[in-house]
Amino acid sequence: MANVKVTLTITEFCLHTGVSEDELTEIVGLGVIEPRNPAAADWIFDDQALTIFHRAQQLHRELALDWPGIAVTLTLLEEIEQLRKENSQLHQQLARFVSRP
């Protein structure tokens, strides 16, 4: 099965998401999403950026957060997920240690 990589230009991203180019520039500047090569003159976004943007858009819509608030929220949610993974790994290690004869 082939791996399909979806990429979008700035215009395509804006048309697909309904965000303006100015908003997209702000969103990228805040670190909410990142183009594949931020230094390039013409940004290209992948499907991961699109997924993150949809999550951010949901926070914007449901919690009425502004883009800086969304950037902070996504960072905190990412940190929580990382802590959960680490906690799970530590529980597994502890279980192996405790269950030894």
CA dist., res. 8 & res. 35, Å (int): 10
Bridge partners (DSSP) of residue 45 are 8
CA dist., res. 40 & res. 59, Å (int): 29
Domain span holding position 53: 7-98
Residue 22: which CATH number? 1.10.1660.10
Does residue 54 form part of some domain? yes
Can you give the pTM of this predicted structure?
A: 0.78
Alpha carbons within 13 angstroms on the beta-carbon side of residue 77 total 11
Does residue 13 form part of some domain? yes
Q: Which amino acid, one-letter code, is at 4?
A: V
The segments of the chain whose pLDDT lies below 70 read 1-2, 100-101
Does residue 2 form part of some domain? no
Closest CA to 30 of 86, 65, 70, 76: 70
Instruction: Provide the number of structural domains found in the chain.
Output: 1
pLDDT, tens only, 18-42: 999 999 999 999 999 999 988 888 9
- Pair 61, 82: CB distance under 8 Å: no
CA dist., res. 58 & res. 14, Å (int): 16
